[in-house]
């Protein structure tokens, strides 16, 4: 089993550097997610990310319960996160959404719950975050965070919050040059997480695939690694959390094999390449 490094959060807890987004691809057989989850656990993945939108919590909860019962892992070894979208972000439904996830997953608590607000409203954000803080204080949630907040929205939240977000997650494309926010997040002790940096959704369609960049490929060849492994190691050395989606066991094994070191000059070169592409 591979060992995945842990990153400390501002509340004293720890999150694995690499996590698995447990989506259900309609183009794959229904049991595909079960197979991938079983294999991921065997390989050492302990961070799993859910959303009610995926509609697979019950199946996954059964697998986790079975693994714990057989002694393959313990609950404390897992890091389980849940994304709540705006549709369940109000005082009446916030707690229900969390309880539904806990019931479906057959768990007593969630390690991280983060909110995404596509249509940002300050009053809505204020009420939602206060409820998040209440659930956190009741220990139903071990950490709270946000997803895809722009700088203005994040600054508003930081002005009104009592508990600072532990994690700031982004649907990320390497060419979007979003890593320029990292220094500011470090000052605020908020951990940056990157969601799905290699398989970008349609909103990033104007960008080319980072893994097909010839310069990235040349650097990867020098380390006798694939472009995916090089970029994951790059993010790891920058202390970023990465949530990945993968379709088969071969792909997961590739992502897990990043026990090498990227030299400082190559780290700078990769950063420079990403900035150049972001400005084209």
* Cβ neighbour number for residue 59 with a 10 Å cutoff: 16
- Residue 39: strand pairing partners: none
Residue 235 bears catalytic tag: no
* Residue tagged active-site, from 14, 47, 54, 223: 54
Contact criterion met (CB below 8 Å) for 22 and 33: yes
DSSP string over 18-54: EEEE----TTS-TTHHHHHHHHHHHHT--EEEEEGGG
Contact criterion met (CB below 8 Å) for 261 and 161: no
Contact criterion met (CB below 8 Å) for 146 and 115: yes
Residues 6+ apart with CB under 8 A from 277: 174, 175, 207, 208, 213
| Pairing assessment for the beta strands 18-21 and 47-51 based on DSSP bridges | parallel
Catalytic residues: 54
């Amino acid at each position: 089993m591979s060992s995945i490094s842990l990153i400390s959060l501002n509340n004293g807890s720890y999150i694995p550097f690499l996590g698995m987004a447990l989506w259900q691809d309609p183009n794959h057989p229904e049991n595909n997610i079960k197979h991938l989850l079983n294999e991921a656990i065997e390989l050492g993945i302990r961070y799993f990310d859910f959303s009610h939108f995926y509609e697979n919590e019950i199946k996954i909860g059964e697998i986790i319960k079975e693994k714990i019962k057989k002694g393959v892992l313990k609950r404390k070894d897992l890091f389980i996160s849940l994304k709540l979208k705006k549709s369940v972000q109000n005082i009446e439904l916030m707690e229900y959404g969390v309880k539904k996830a806990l019931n479906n997953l057959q768990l007593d608590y969630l390690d991280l719950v983060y909110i995404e607000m596509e249509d940002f409203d300050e009053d809505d954000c204020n009420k939602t975050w206060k409820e998040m803080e209440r659930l956190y204080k009741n220990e139903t949630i071990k950490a709270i965070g946000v997803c895809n907040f722009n700088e203005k929205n994040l600054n508003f939240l930081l002005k009104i919050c009592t508990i600072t977000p532990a994690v700031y997650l982004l649907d990320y494309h390497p060419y979007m040059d979003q890593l320029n926010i990292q220094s500011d997040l470090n000052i605020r002790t908020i951990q940056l997480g990157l969601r799905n940096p290699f398989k970008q959704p349609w909103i990033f369609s104007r960008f080319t695939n980072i893994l097909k960049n010839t310069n990235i490929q040349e650097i990867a060849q020098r380390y006798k690694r694939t472009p995916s492994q090089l970029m994951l190691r790059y993010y790891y050395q920058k202390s970023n959390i990465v949530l990945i989606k993968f379709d088969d066991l071969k792909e997961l094994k590739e992502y897990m094999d990043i026990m090498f070191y990227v030299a400082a000059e190559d780290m700078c070169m990769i950063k420079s390449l990403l900035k150049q592409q972001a400005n084209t």
